[in-house]
Structure 1
Amino acid sequence: MKVLKGYKFRIYPDEKQIQYFIQTFGCVRFTYNQLLLARQKALQEGEYKTDVSPAKLKLDYPFLKKTDSLALANAQRNLDRAFKNYFSKRAGYPKLKTKKNSWQTYTTNNQKHTIYFVGNQLKLPKLKTLINVNLHREVLGEIKSATISAKDNQLFFVSILCLEEVTPLPKTGKSIAISYCPKHLVQIPATNYLPAFRQEKLQWQLDKAMKRLKVRAKAAKNRKVLLEKAKNYQKQKVKVQKLYMAKNEQKKNYMNQVSYRLVRDYDYIYLEKTPTFMENMNFSETDWHHFLRKLQYKVQWYGKKIIFVDAVENVRTKENSPLNV
């Protein structure tokens, strides 16, 4: 079956490319906000639709012509989706975007081979030069879109969405019952089945970096210097952010490994409907829900099945449901 599959990579743009990304972030944010204000005005007048569009905004604001038109069109699409979710009571009322947000993004589409890889470099629309990419895995399938994201305009990433053919995994005839575990994410009969997960060293580095950040913040305060202008504080802040990101990426990689192993080795996976979560542990309630989303789309891709039960202990004691690890 064909599925939409995402790949995320770190990219290393040069100065001109960084300036283009920052400019595009601003144009997309400006377009989104202008469309939102126009939609709000229309709703106040009893209308749902408005005649304001990215094409019309380009006539009033010529600087928008310098950026990717598909990125502006996707801003309009995102606003339409936001209002649809709001009226369906799936989300709150759309808010104006701000440049103070530490994460900035824009999405562009692949039209007539405008997004492609050349070795470890990426070609994007409107950019004449190639972008260096940490291509740690092969991108398969047809590229549909690319989303550029930046953390404080310092760390840049690209998320590639592909239409890819996925082959169902072989049937094993096995089943397993798993539950939430605050230490290892999942509780299964044999703990040696899980891949290694150790964040002690990374956590130690993060704690040390946080202490140093507090010291530099105090030093800046004593010198009566704003934190935004304190160079030592800002440098340390970037180090802390990188450690946080490394910790989160390590956790995501562990979730991917665990979910794939379970889907690969078992045809039926029993899960508790309402597990009891614990705070201040390796894996939180949010982590568990992220893991469930990964598990759910993988069982769909690879022809396996998830069964939610009240208690996995009841499943483990059934003779008709042998659990082999």
Structure 2
Amino acid sequence: MTTERAYRYRFYPTPEQATLLARTFGCVRFVWNAVLRYRTDAFYQRQEKIGYHDASAFLTQLKKQSDTAFLTEVSSVPLQQCLRHQQTAFKHFFAKRARYPHFKSKKHRQSATFASSAFSYRNGQITLAKCREPLNIRWSRDLPSAPSTVTVSKDRAGRYFISCLCKVDTEALPITPKMVGIDLGLKDLFVTSEGQRVNNPRHTARYARKLARAQRQLSRKQKGSNNRAKARLKVAKCHAKIADTRRDHLHQLTRQIVNDNQVIAAESLQVKHLVKNRHLSKAISDVGWGELVRQLEYKAAWAGRQFIQIDRWYPSSKRCHGCGFVQEALPLDVRVWDCPSCGTQGIDRDLNAARNILHAGTALLAGAESCSKYRGALGN
């Protein structure tokens, strides 16, 4: 099966390339904001929907104006790609799959997408349009094929990355009879139905003192000064270190789970609602449940595995995995409980939930349409 995958690398631009990229990022950001304002005014004031062709015509008018003639100094391809991305964002908004597109700020991550007509890929080197020299990319692995598009980005820590979209022929992993259910948590990152416990590394806590010191230094700098910009960069680098460490740890865990199991069942969590708990919001954000599930989903699809999420209202913790009895209430501080129906004692809350998640997942794969049918099959 042929799919498209993005391969991300870090690169180090020359001063000339950094200047050109800064100008390109600024033009892309300006076009996004200008066209978004144009479409917003048309939608809310005149109840008129502006499509991609109208937005492209508006961009042409901007290039002809004297005060926005700087848009012609960069490649036109990233500007057109910006309009396509905005059109996709509005498509998701009208389909109620995403929020309304927001304006972009120069203080956040900057990016620009180049189609195949705006870059060259020869002898393992990529040269962008209007650049004299190829990019100094640190190739951690070879590209499987010539990229169709490349996206150049700069994060808040000042690091440059390039993402290459390539076509790849995927091969499914050998079939294995192993199946696993995963219960997500805070004390333990997750507990499997086999009894394996993966501790929560608490990445933010590891760098808490360093981050707090950098934030204190930032708060003492005068707004708009060069020293404040340097202090802000230190804070951004600390956040980037935490994010990179968390992402690398999750990649290792999800790769091992996908390689070892044919069927993977997990619970479906609404993280955006859970973080509203002011007592647990920081811990929930740090543990990375959403990223863990996202990686499991796409890696399982690539490897030919079956990944399934059960309904978030399924009482995995309150149900006895032996007899199916459901407790009326089970507070979070109760980690071990006894089943009054079958007499099983010392039921571990997390392990019991992981086993119930696996049972519910296999029931769904067997043909059940919802977890309610699975509960009905147990007579509860």
Structure 1 stretches of at least 4 aligned residues deviating more than 4 Å after TM superposition: 196-200, 202-206, 274-278, 280-283, 315-318
- Percent of residue pairs identical: 26
Length, aligned pairs only: 307
State the one-letter code of the partner of 2:308. I
Q: Hey, what's the Cα distance between the residues in 1 that align with 2:285 and 2:218?
A: 30
- 1:276-315 alignment to 2 at 5 Å? 279=280, 284=285, 287-309=288-310, 310=314, 311=316, 312-314=354-356
Kindly indicate whether residue 258 of structure 2 is the aligned counterpart of residue 258 of structure 1.
no
How far is 1:75 from its partner? Answer: 1.1
CA pair 111-168 structure 1, distance change in 2 beyond 3 A: farther
Among 110, 113, 116, the residue aligned to 1:110: 116
- 1:10 aligned counterpart, secondary structure: strand
Among 238, 244, 253, the residue aligned to 1:243: 238
- State the Cα deviation string for residues 119-166 of structure 1 (Å, max 9, x = none): 5x5322232212212222332234121111113483222222222111
CA contact (8 A) 2:121 2:146 kept: no
How far is 1:182 from its partner? Answer: 2.0
CA contact (8 A) 2:112 2:151 kept: yes
CA pair 174-67 structure 1, distance change in 2 beyond 3 A: same
State the one-letter code of the partner of 1:136. S
Q: Hey, what's the Cα distance between the residues in 2 that align with 1:35 and 1:243?
A: 34
Q: Hey, what's the Cα distance between the residues in 1 that align with 2:218 and 2:76?
A: 43
CA contact (8 A) 1:209 1:236 kept: no
- State the Cα deviation string for residues 180-199 of structure 1 (Å, max 9, x = none): 0324532123548x6x9856
Q: Hey, what's the Cα distance between the residues in 2 that align with 1:9 and 1:240?
A: 23
Q: Hey, what's the Cα distance between the residues in 1 that align with 2:150 and 2:169?
A: 19
- State the Cα deviation string for residues 98-137 of structure 1 (Å, max 9, x = none): 33x321111111239x343655x53222322122122223
- 1:126-275 alignment to 2 at 5 Å? 126-152=130-156, 154-188=158-192, 189=194, 191=196, 203-215=205-217, 217-218=219-220, 220=221, 226-229=222-225, 231=227, 233-274=228-269
If asked which structure has higher relative contact order (CA below 8 Å, sep 6+), I would say 1
RMSD: 3.2
Q: Counterpart of 2:86? A: 79
Q: Counterpart of 1:54? A: 59
Q: Counterpart of 1:91? A: 98
Q: Counterpart of 2:329? A: none
CA pair 250-118 structure 1, distance change in 2 beyond 3 A: farther
How far is 1:168 from its partner? Answer: 0.6
Q: Hey, what's the Cα distance between the residues in 2 that align with 1:134 and 1:197?
A: 31
How far is 1:267 from its partner? Answer: 0.6
